[in-house]
Chain A
């Protein structure tokens, strides 16, 4: 065993000892980290689901409808079609004649379709349905074509998506603020816990300094202690969030609220995501908490 390795082993051993000695306050630290991460998990689930909803809605609304005037001629139609097909961000252009539009409407109305039979003239216009790669392109295209001859109106649903994105952003920001505050609180609690170990070992630390222990050797055990608290908190919260969410997900699916579940992240995919995030944040809070208390106490 090399010298470095022996020193490292000592540091780790002392870290575990410190954690054990500090069980009481350690419990407080672990609880606070677990609480932060569980709440983070909830925010995370909500954000992911909202995101799914946004993406899905974008897919549904990523088209624009170009209504044509009644007295349009074939030449004008093909000019418009050409113009549309050459736009940026267009994935397909479909022409729907006024008769096709009426047929479609009858189908959509189903049982009540017969009501449309009474119409003397077809009130629906010829329409180009333009599928977009992304709804973002809609404004640009609408602006470009709206003055062409034969076009009555350009219609698309940017509003819904904008509102949805806005809500998602509020949730994200709100969630992040809450989580940040809680992270701050946890760091404070951890630093207080570590302070207890530092105080308990003040004598030892003082002697270590005179014998020539490096800062790393002195600080290492405390940082490890903090990280261990963080990791235990991470494990607990991963279990809580995963099993809790799985239960919720299954309950919702069982009752066939399919409309709702399609937007929810499947629990197994969630597990993969939160594992790394929680472990990183838990260990980070622990290490940071230790460093905060060490900065004050261990000025060599």
Chain B
């Protein structure tokens, strides 16, 4: 029997970027919020002098302990899903700050096309451009509507960057100037310009200078030490929830965080959420935390799993295409080019997670798709995140992966290889979805989330096109050997790392028929329940998702405050 705790005005489940942003906005407005975090407590002191590739980058110190909970994976509905036993293709975060701690800090916006992809594709190319099983949908929000929240996020996080004619339009400049340009990035930009493209310095949450945000939190100047991705920052120079929104919320006196609190279920009666049930890892007891408003801000996977496990919303069925929870699970389509330079040697031990140059010429609908067999695209970027010696062993194709030949090539090319990557947009496919696994369970005996996912021809065509564009730039850069890199030539494989940009499952839309939440991240079927995060993306864009997660979280916070004043469905159901 769960032990019932005193009621709170709002409970936030999962204290990362989305949970932290919403908690900061609610607590500043005087709302009492409790944050339940399944992981442990953490402070910036935990990140000082932790420059250890083995522990963090390879053995995933900051990531979810899969012995306790994982997902099962299959490519198609006729396969038996099997557990993801080891981390690979994506890395799930945990502990206070969540995946907001180990992110690289790449902070671009999505394009207007992303939010109205169905309407704009139809307008531009007419009926039949997209296969009917590629179930693109507008998000129920426009770029103009989300734009102020992007600006708010950028000011809070102090984003360093610059705009050009191909980047999404902004109402205000980035709060800090772009990061420094390394020779590798300079070479990429020069070559791109020569090809008639429009390179820019990528927007970065590793800051180019010290910055104090409107909440009074200071983020420091990046030292280009290169320990960003998969690490916490030594310098508090990478915007993360621990140095921004969480202390802002705590400072109000209205925010309390409970760690080791693993939420299993959302309580609800007659379409009203009553609170959440969680297991406290410190005493293994089950507790019930009642609240007027329940806000789910775990990662994509558990946002969906919690709704399914709690019986909220109709689960999606790919055969009938009825139901909404679990629908539109998307990822990102990673391809690009490697270039090997005999006569150049770059200082690639130095870098920063978001230090890079990019071109947006082949993203969204920034280029004509009339004669192409796919829609959308992705950013092409050259990033200098810092080479790490265990995992970075660049050798030309055909080189043996061990022995003398390998040793010679991998030591020779360690500083002589550059990579251009496309983050290809991932569009929803009827048979890519999330539900509960019938066989495998977590440490509490609850079913694991089952991921059914494969690449489609749309994805493969996009990846190939992008890889070709990346190879053109690499050739122009003067590489002696240019090779295609493409993760989407065959079936989706959970082993090689690709990206931690998973999206969907509790998507946003204009009606309860087609989506789980409205554009305030409010659940159509349960109006005092809000689900925020990348699980609300109807598809994944061709850019890093964090700023869009953050912008939608700011909008959700505004909606929640409005709802507290006047409880109602905040958006008229488009049914």
Do chains A and B stick together as partners? no
Which residues does A use to contact B, with CB under 8 Å? none
